[in-house]
C-alpha cells in the first residue's frame, strides 16, 4: 500500500510576507568565522526555500588574498559543514553565480573602488538595481573606515541598508559615538543592529504567547505573578576568545544585550500594532523604567577548575590569553525591578554565565500561590506554584506547571507539566536566527533589530553596575565549572524566600 505524505496543517499560512527587492549584499569580514558558520548557511537555507530575491548577489570583502572561485569553494564547504538543510548542487550553483570576491584594505582607497566596481557589475549582470546591504562582520575598530567609505559613495539608485554585529560599543560613551558615526552617513531606518537572540523563534513566541492568547495577558502583572526568572546558561568556556572576553566579561557579552532584550520582551506593554517602531517603543519604555540595582542586588563570579559532563576543564584564569590574576567576570546574577504600574515590586531575577551545569536559556514566570488550597494538609509533597516556562534553547517550546490529582484514593496533588514543543507541533526544522534576521533586513523590517535609544538605555544600566564594581575586588575564582555559579547567587534569591529553578 502506498504511503501518502500528509501536509502539516500547522504550516499553512507561514508564507513570506512579501518578496524582497533585488539587491546585492556586501559582507565585510567574509573570511571570518561568522560568515562561515552563520551568514552563508543562512543565505543557502533562504535560497533553498525560495525566500531570496531572484536577482541577488553577494560580494565577500576581506584583506585575505583570493578570487571568486576560491570564495565559492570555501563557502560551499562551510554550507556543507554548518548548514541545516541537505546540500543540493542546483541550489548552491544558483547562489554561487552571484558571488564575487574583493580583496580590500580600507587604508587603501583602491579597495573602495574595487567594491564599487563589483557592485556595478552585479547591477548589470544580476539585475540588483542599485539596492545595497552592507554587512559589518568585522571588529568594531574597522567600523569607522567602512562606514565612512561606503557612506560617501552611496548608490544614487535604489535603497541602502547597514547590518551591524555586536559588540555595539564598550560602554555608553562609545555606543553614543558609534551611533553618531552611523547616523552621519545612514538614516536610523537604514541601520540594522543585530542581536541574534531576537531572531530565535522561541523569543518571538513570547510576543505570540502574550498577545495572541486571551488567557495570559489579563494575569501578566504584579497581582498574579510572584516573580520572573531569566537564565542564560552555557557549559562552554570562552572558546579561545580571551582577547575579546577579557575586555567584555559576562556583563557586556550577554547581560547588556541578550538578557536585557529577553527581559524587555517579557515586561513590555502591548504595542498598538506590530510595526517595528511600535514594538521597539514599548521595549524602550521598559528599559527606561528599570530600577538601578544596588550592590547587594548584583553578584558576579568567575569559574575555576571543575567538571563538565564528566570531563575536567580548566579555570578561566588558566585559559590561553587570560591573565593569571584576571578580575573578569564569567557569571552575573541580579535582582532587577521595572518601575511601572504593571510590575511595581515584582522582582526579575536574572543570571547568565559560562561553564555552568547545563546549557539552557529560559524565561520562567512564576505565579502566586492559590490563596486557600483546601487540600494542603493531605499533601505528601509540597505543591509547587504554577510556572509558565519558555524554553528558548535547547529544547524550544513552552511548559506550564499545574497541580493535578494523583490516581487513587484521597486528594493527593502533584505538580505536572503541560508541554508544547516546536519540533513536535510543527514537524519542521527550526530556522536559524540569522535566516530570519537577514530576511527581515532584505524586506526592510526592523522589528527584531535594536534601535539607537534601546542600545543607549541598556548601556546606561550596565555602566552603573560596572561603576559600583570598581570599589571592590571579590575573591576569584568563586565557583567551580559545572555548577550553577557562586554561592552568593543562591543567597541573592534566598534572602527573598525564593529559589533558582533547577529543572
User: CA 479 to CA 330: how far, in whole Å?
Assistant: 10
Nearest to 60 by CA among 70, 69, 71: 71
Q: How far is CA 263 from CA 77, 112, 255, 421, in A?
A: 38, 41, 10, 22
Quickly tell me which residue has 554587512 as its cell: 135
Entry pTM: 0.89
pLDDT of residue 371: 72
8 A C-beta contact, residue 78 and residue 58: no
Residue 155 has pLDDT above 80, yes or no: no
The distance from CA 148 to its chain's CA centroid, rounded to whole angstroms, is: 28
User: CA 255 to CA 248: how far, in whole Å?
Assistant: 11
Strand 191-193 to 160-164 pairing: parallel
pLDDT of residue 9: 42
Residues sharing a CB contact under 8 Å with residue 495, sequence separation 6 or more, in sequence order: none
Residue 192 has pLDDT above 50, yes or no: yes
Residue 193 grid coordinates = 543592529
Residue 112 has pLDDT above 90, yes or no: no
pLDDT of residue 5: 40
Nearest to 233 by CA among 397, 359, 330, 393: 359
Residue 140 has pLDDT above 90, yes or no: no
Total residues found in the chain within this entry: 503
Residue 406 grid coordinates = 494523583
**Least confident residue range of 4-8, 197-201, 318-322:** 4-8
The end-to-end CA distance of the chain, in Å, is 45
Residue 413 has pLDDT above 80, yes or no: no
For the segment 45-66, the average pLDDT, to the nearest whole number, is 93
User: CA 253 to CA 484: how far, in whole Å?
Assistant: 18
Residue 420 has pLDDT above 90, yes or no: no
Confidence of residue 16 (pLDDT cuts 50, 70, 90): low
Across 364-393, b (16+ Cβ under 10 Å) vs e yields: bbbbeeeeeeeeeeeeeeebeebbbbbbbe
pLDDT of residue 4: 38
Q: Catalytic: which of 258, 291, 372, 417?
A: 258
% residues pLDDT > 70 (the chain):
91
Q: Which residue has the higher pLDDT, 89 or 419?
A: 89
Q: How far is CA 391 from CA 120, 262, 334, in A?
A: 45, 12, 20
pLDDT of residue 455: 96
Residue 13 has pLDDT above 70, yes or no: no
Instruction: Report DSSP letters for 258-316, one per residue.
Output: IIHHHHHHHHPPPPSSSSHHHHHHHHHHHHHHEEPPPGGGEEEE-EESEEETTEEE--G
pLDDT digits (tens, 9 = 90+) for 351-397: 999 999 999 999 999 999 877 666 555 454 556 788 999 988 888 88
Residue 472 has pLDDT above 90, yes or no: no
pLDDT digits (tens, 9 = 90+) for 422-437: 766 665 667 888 999 9
% residues pLDDT > 90 (the chain):
68
pLDDT of residue 8: 42
Strand 225-233 to 360-367 pairing: antiparallel
Nearest to 93 by CA among 77, 74, 72: 72
**Least confident residue range of 39-53, 142-156, 213-227:** 142-156
pLDDT of residue 1: 38
pLDDT of residue 21: 94
Q: Which residue has the higher pLDDT, 91 or 108?
A: 91
Active site residue 258: yes
Quickly tell me which residue has 573602488 as its cell: 113
Mean pLDDT of the residues in the chain? 89
214, with CB counted inside 10 A (0-12, 13-18, 19+), is exposed
8 A C-beta contact, residue 346 and residue 222: yes
Across 215-253, b (16+ Cβ under 10 Å) vs e yields: eeeeebebeebbbbbbbbbbbebbeeebeebbebbbbbb
Domains of the chain: 21-165 (3.40.50.720), 198-429+450-494 (3.30.360.10)
Residue 7 has pLDDT above 50, yes or no: no
pLDDT digits (tens, 9 = 90+) for 245-293: 999 999 999 999 999 999 999 999 999 988 899 999 999 999 999 989 9
Amino acid at each position: 500500500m502506498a504511503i501518502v505524505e500528509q501536509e502539516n496543517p500547522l504550516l499553512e499560512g507561514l508564507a513570506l510576507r512579501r518578496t524582497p527587492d533585488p539587491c546585492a549584499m556586501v559582507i565585510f569580514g567574509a573570511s571570518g568565522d561568522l560568515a562561515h558558520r552563520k551568514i552563508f548557511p543562512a543565505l543557502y537555507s533562504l535560497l533553498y526555500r525560495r525566500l531570496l530575491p531572484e536577482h541577488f548577489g553577494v560580494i565577500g570583502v576581506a584583506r585575505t588574498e583570493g578570487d571568486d572561485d576560491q570564495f565559492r569553494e570555501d563557502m560551499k564547504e562551510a554550507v556543507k559543514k554548518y548548514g541545516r538543510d541537505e546540500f543540493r548542487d542546483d541550489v548552491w550553483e544558483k547562489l554561487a553565480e552571484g558571488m564575487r570576491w574583493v580583496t580590500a584594505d580600507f587604508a587603501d582607497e583602491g579597495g573602495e573602488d574595487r567594491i564599487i566596481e563589483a557592485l556595478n557589475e552585479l547591477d548589470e549582470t544580476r539585475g540588483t538595481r542599485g539596492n545595497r546591504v552592507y554587512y559589518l562582520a568585522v571588529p568594531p575598530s574597522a567600523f569607522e573606515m567602512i562606514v565612512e567609505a561606503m557612506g560617501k559613495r552611496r548608490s544614487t539608485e535604489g535603497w541602502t541598508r547597514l547590518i551591524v554585529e555586536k559588540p555595539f560599543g564598550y560602554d555608553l560613551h562609545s555606543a553614543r559615538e558609534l551611533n553618531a558615526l552611523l547616523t552621519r552617513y545612514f538614516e536610523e531606518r537604514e541601520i540594522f543592529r543585530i542581536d541574534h537572540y531576537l531572531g530565535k523563534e522561541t523569543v518571538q513566541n513570547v510576543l505570540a504567547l502574550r498577545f495572541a492568547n486571551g488567557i495570559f495577558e489579563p494575569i501578566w502583572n504584579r497581582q498574579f505573578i510572584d516573580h520572573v526568572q531569566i537564565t542564560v546558561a552555557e557549559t562552554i568556556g570562552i572558546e579561545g576568545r580571551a582577547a575579546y572576553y577579557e575586555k567584555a566579561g559576562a556583563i557586556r557579552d550577554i547581560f547588556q544585550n541578550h538578557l536585557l532584550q529577553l527581559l524587555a520582551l517579557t515586561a513590555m506593554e502591548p504595542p498598538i500594532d506590530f510595526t517595528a517602531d511600535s514594538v521597539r517603543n514599548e521595549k524602550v519604555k521598559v528599559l527606561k523604567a528599570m530600577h538601578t540595582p544596588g550592590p547587594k542586588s548584583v553578584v558576579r563570579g568567575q569559574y575555576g577548575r571543575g567538571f563538565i559532563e564528566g570531563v575536567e576543564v580548566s579555570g578561566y584564569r588558566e585559559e590561553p590569553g587570560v591573565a593569571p590574576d584576571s578580575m573578569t567576570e564569567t557569571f552575573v546574577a541580579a535582582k532587577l525591578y521595572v518601575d511601572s504600574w504593571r510590575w511595581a515590586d515584582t522582582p526579575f531575577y536574572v543570571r547568565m554565565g559560562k561553564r555552568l551545569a547545563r546549557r539552557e536559556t529560559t524565561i520562567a514566570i512564576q505565579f502566586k500561590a492559590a490563596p486557600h488550597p483546601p487540600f494542603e494538609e493531605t499533601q505528601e509533597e509540597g505543591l509547587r506554584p504554577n510556572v509558565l516556562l519558555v524554553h528558548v534553547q535547547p529544547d524550544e517550546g513552552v511548559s506550564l506547571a499545574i497541580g493535578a490529582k494523583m490516581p487513587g484514593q484521597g486528594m493527593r496533588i502533584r505538580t505536572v507539566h503541560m508541554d508544547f514543543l516546536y519540533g513536535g507541533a510543527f514537524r519542521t526544522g527550526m530556522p536559524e536566527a540569522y535566516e530570519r534576521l537577514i530576511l527581515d533586513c532584505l524586506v526592510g523590517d526592523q522589528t527584531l533589530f535594536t534601535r539607537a535609544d534601546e542600545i543607549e538605555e541598556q548601556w546606561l544600566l550596565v555602566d552603573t553596575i560596572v561603576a559600583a564594581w570598581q570599589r571592590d575586588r571579590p575573591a576569584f575564582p568563586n565557583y567551580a565549572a559545572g555548577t550553577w555559579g557562586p554561592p552568593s547567587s543562591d543567597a541573592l534569591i534566598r534572602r527573598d524566600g525564593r529559589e533558582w529553578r533547577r529543572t
